Amino acid sequence: MEKVLLANIDNPESAEIGVYEAAGGYESLRKSLETAPDDVIETVKKANLRGRGGAGFPTGMKWMFASKDPKFPKYLVCNADEGEPGTFKDRPILEKNPHLLIEGMAISGHALKAEFGYIYLRGEYPAAKGILEKAIRQAEEKGYIGDNMMGSGRKFRLAVHQGAGAYICGEETALIESLEGKKGQPRIKPPFPVNVGAWGMPTIVNNVETLSNMPFLMRVGPEAYAAIGSKECPGPKLFCVSGHVNKPGVYELPMGVTLREIIYDHCGGMKNGKTLKAVIPGGISTPVLPPDRIDCQMDFVNMPRHESMLGSGAVIVMDETVCLVKVCLRALKFFEHESCGKCTPCRDGVSWLRQILARIEGGEGRAGDIELLSEVAGNITGKTFCPLGDGAASVVLNFIKHFRNEFEMHISRKACPFK
Amino acid sequence: METVMKSQMTDELECVSARYPANRAALLPALYLAQRKYGWLSVEAMDEVSRELGVPKATVRGVATFYAMYRQKPVGRNVIQLCTNVSCMILGAERLVDIIRDKYGVEPGGTSADGRFSLVIMECIGACGTAPAMLVNTDFHESLTPENIVTILEGYR
């Protein structure tokens, strides 16, 4: 497959505008500016592009909702807050291919008649901030963005907004709150951001990878785009693989590649000849899978059929030596730390889950603790403003579902069997 | 001296504020500017941001304490931000915490007595494919081992 999102990133100068232009960069923007905004949206719908941030919502539909809202100005926000543990797929675009994202945002801004764009960049990527700001300046100087995009009379201004280490700001309404200078606490939906977003105006929040698909999509057209990967959910997809494989890293593969192919064909199989024990397929919030479930197609439509999720495409591979109770505990420490505190089931419930897991892992688990974990998790699920609490509860429930024996062993032996 | 530095911050803030339709939106960047100026966000620093932006003091403090990367106490000359989340943990990050503690006398969340290092435990810094990883100040260091981490840290005085 032709590399689209990771094209040219092996060139050490890939972030420079001249290198990007030499590879045909900004030609798609030129073509898009000659296309009516609604026709660009129609193209995105036809291509069946789905949001790459984790939820997989159809991008064209989101755009149509925002476009139909009569209020102006509209804002386009790039979610570059990739904080889902295990996820590092957007970082190569941000650090090595910033013009791909800028061109994608300019095309999207044109389609949505949005004159202002923000890149909400996580605070943990300090290098990307300078790289993006330099690339934005270059694109302004060349007239690709600014008050008169490529002489079209259309305006699109772009700025980087740096986050400050809050995972919850990856959730779009929390992100908007944070953009407005507030604590990153999610809003109640509806109204949805496409109607009432930043500063009360229609706001489209899209992931880095989603927006970076736009130059290619507009270049090849919806039919060629939809021919890549899964029929129901097409296109190129970034997978970031970490843990016990021989060749971890970011891979650009067709949507729908199986987890087995990712681990064994692309990443060179298990490290040190060890045996696979568990895989988290799409970032820490997605349901863990045992080794007999890795023949699943990695896309937004098929993963739920295998009782998991594609999430951010962050594959964490764990071998036989790993204590899964410990992994589960570490995940819950993360969720406890990142809970924004707005709603009780998440704020208190996640903390209780962490405390119970800590005593099990520490050899002080009691009979009935596994049932207690399930009960507390069940009382969080579906009862919170945003998916953070659901994610935390689902982690616990799925580790118990597939690896209950490890929890039982910790309790009966009064110690971790892997130490 | 105070006035000179203050006006410098005002200038930078004006430039930042121009990016947003509302003044309040400049609060996160303003807190970063104040942190850069003072090294951390004291009550006085937060109150200065409040005055500069015309945002209530309580609002500024609420926002500043919500986000993990705003520092509520002074830090050392170099800040080690070490990830211990799952991908880093299963490849040995906890051992690195012990090494840093033993070698430099710094606990997670604390600062060494000589003021050389502060240690902050991070939640995923997006370097999972080259785990374990850390940021020292704004520099990424990846594929860490018990051996190379000391060599890297020795480069920071």
Q: With beta carbons under 8 A apart, name residues in chain B contacting A318.
A: 90
* Phi and psi based region of residue A174 (left: phi greater than 0; alpha: psi -120 to 50; beta: remaining): alpha
ipTM of the complex: 0.95
CB of A165 within 8 Å of a chain B CB? The answer is yes
Domain shared by B46 and B96, yes or no: no
Q: Considering only residues 12 to 71 of chain B, which have any Cβ-Cβ distance to chain A shorter than 8 Å?
A: 19, 21-22, 24-29, 31-32, 55, 62-63, 66-70
A82 touches chain B (CB under 8 A): yes
Angle at A330 between CA A324 and CA A335, to 5 degrees: 125
3-state secondary structure of A161: strand
The answer to whether the CB atoms of B87 and A243 lie below 8 A apart is yes
pLDDT-derived band of residue A133, with 50, 70 and 90 as boundaries? very high
Say which of A85, A166, A249 has its CB closest to residue B66: A166
> Which DSSP category does A289 fall into?
B
Could you give the CA distance from residue A188 to residue A201 in angstroms, rounded to a whole number? Answer: 16
Query: Which residue range forms the structural domain that includes residue B13?
Result: 2-66
The answer to whether the CB atoms of B22 and A240 lie below 8 A apart is: no
Q: Are B96 and B121 contained in the same domain?
A: yes
User: Which residue from B69, B123, B129 is facing A338, i.e. has the nearest CB?
Assistant: B123
Whether residues B95 and B147 share a domain: the answer is yes
A77 strand-pairing partners: A118, A205
Enter the tokens of residue A316.
């964490």
Nearest CB to B128 within list A165, A240, A318: A240
Q: Is there a contact between A327 and B86 if contact means CB atoms under 8 Å apart?
A: yes
Task: Answer for the pair A18, A105: CB distance below 8 angstroms, yes or no.
Answer: no
Please give the Cα distance from B82 to B154 (Å, whole number): 16
pLDDT tens per residue, range A135-154: 999 999 999 999 999 999 99
Which CATH number do you get for residue B142?
3.40.30.10
Q: A242 contacts in B (CB within 8 Å)? A: 87, 128-129, 131
pLDDT tier at A419, thresholds 50, 70, 90: confident
Q: Per-residue pLDDT for A94 more than 70? A: yes
pLDDT value of residue B7: 56
Both B39 and B88 in one domain: the answer is: no
CA B1 vs. chain centroid, Å, equals: 25
Beta strand segments in A178-302, E: 203-207, 236-243, 249-254, 276-280
Contact A75, A202 (CB under 8 A): yes
In angstroms, the Cα distances linking A190 to A68, A183, A251, A265, A385 are 16, 20, 36, 43, 11
Last residue of a domain, one of B41, B66, B91: B66
The minimal CB distance from A181 to the residues B26, B85, B123 is found for B26
Beta-carbon count within 10 A of A213 CB: 25
| Distance from C-alpha of A228 to C-alpha of A290, rounded to nearest angstrom | 28
Q: Could you say which of A126, A167, A250 has the minimum Cβ distance to residue B129? A: A250
Residue B137 has pLDDT above 60, yes or no: yes
| Cα–Cα dist A207/A415, whole Å | 43
Residue of B nearest to A180 (CA): B25
Give the nearest partner residue to B85 out of A91, A240, A334, using CB atoms. A334
Nearest residue to B155 via CA among B138, B133, B136? B136
Q: Answer yes or no: is B93 within a domain.
A: yes
φ and ψ of A79, to 5 deg: -85, 100
Contacts of A248 in chain B (CB under 8 A): 128-131
Give pLDDT tens digits for A325-346.
Answer: 999 999 999 999 999 999 999 9
Dist. CA A190–CA A23, nearest whole Å = 42
Residue B72 domain-assigned? no
Asked whether the beta carbons of residue B135 and residue A181 sit closer than 8 angstroms, the reply is no
B139 plus B89 within the same structural domain: yes
**pLDDT higher than 60, residue B109:** yes
Per-residue tokens: A54: 């984790």
* B140/A contact by beta carbon, under 8 A: yes
Classify residue A6 as exposed, middle or buried by CB count within 10 Å of its CB (0-12, 13-18, 19+). Answer: buried
Q: Which amino acid is at B105?
A: G
Question: Do residue A244 and residue B128 have CB atoms under 8 angstroms apart?
Answer: no
Structural domain boundaries in chain A: 17-226, 236-319, 324-413
Do B87 and B148 sit in the same domain of this protein?
yes
- Reading the block at residue B93, the tokens are 């990050």
Residues in chain B within 8 Å Cβ distance of A326 = 89
* Residues of chain A with C-beta less than 8 angstroms from the C-beta of B87: 85-86, 242-243, 316
Q: Which residues lie across from B111 on neighbouring strands?
A: B118
Final residue before a domain boundary, out of B21, B38, B66? B66
Query: Terminus-to-terminus CA distance in chain B, angstroms?
Result: 27
Encoded tokens for A401 = 């579902």
Per-residue confidence (pLDDT) for residue B1, from 0 to 100: 38
| Strand intervals (E) in A270-366 | 276-280, 314-319
State the burial class of residue A409 (Cβ atoms within 10 Å of its Cβ: 0-12, 13-18, 19+).
Answer: middle
What is the Cα gyration radius of chain A?
22
> Are A334 and A378 a contacting pair, CB within 8 Å?
no
Q: Give A236-319's CATH code, choosing from 3.40.50.1860, 3.10.20.600, 3.40.50.150, 3.30.930.10.
A: 3.10.20.600
How far apart are the C-alpha atoms of A409 and A360, rounded to whole Å? 10
Handedness of CA A63, A64, A66, A71 (dihedral sign): positive
B6 and B56 co-located in one domain: yes
Instruction: State whether residue B113 sits within 8 Å of chain A by CB.
Output: no
pLDDT for residue B14: 87
Q: Has residue B71 been placed in a domain?
A: no
In this complex, is the C-beta atom of B136 within 8 Å of any C-beta atom belonging to chain A? Answer: no
From chain A, the residues in CB contact with B122 under 8 A are: 124
Q: Is the same domain home to B58 and B86? A: no
- CB < 8 Å from B in window 188-247 of A: 199, 240-244
Preferred mutation among A242, A262, A327, A347 to probe B, highest tally of B CBs within 10 A: A242
Closest CB from B24, B124, B138 relative to A85: B124
d(CA A83, CA B83): 12
Q: Residues B43, B104: one domain?
A: no
Q: What are phi and psi of A259, to 5 degrees?
A: -60, -40
- What is the signed CA dihedral for A239, A243, A244, A249, rounded to 10 degrees? 40
User: B6: pLDDT confidence band, cut at 50, 70 and 90?
Assistant: low
Helix axis angle for A59-68 and A98-112, nearest 10°, is 40
Q: Provide the number of structural domains found in chain B.
A: 2
Mean pLDDT for all residues in chain A: 97
- The confidence score (pLDDT) of residue A105 equals 98
CA nearest neighbour of A53 among A149, A163, A169, A178 = A169
SS3 B108: coil
What number is the average pLDDT over the span A109-116?
98
Provide the residue count of chain B.
157
Buried residues in B38-52 as b, exposed as e (16+ CB within 10 A): eeebeeebbebbbeb
Are B92 and B150 members of one domain?
A: yes
Residues 6+ apart with CB under 8 A from A249: A240, A241, A267, B129
CATH code for the part of the protein at A324-413: 1.20.1440.230
Chain B nearest C-alpha distance from A173 (Å): 15
Tell me: do B114 and B83 sit in the same domain: yes
Position A278 pLDDT exceeds 80: yes
Whether residue B57 is found in the same domain as residue B104:
no
Structure-token match 């579906």, residue found: A382
Q: Do B26 and A179 touch (CB under 8 A)?
A: no
pLDDT tens for each residue of A368-389: 999 999 999 999 999 999 999 9
Chain B residues touching residue A331 (CB < 8 angstroms)? 86
Task: Please give the CATH number for the structural domain made up of A17-226.
Answer: 3.40.50.11540
**Alpha helix positions (H), A151-268:** 172-179, 208-212, 214-226, 259-260
pLDDT score for B11: 85
- Determine the 3-state secondary structure of B106 from DSSP: coil
Q: How far is B100 from chain A (nearest CA, A)?
A: 20
pLDDT at B63: 98
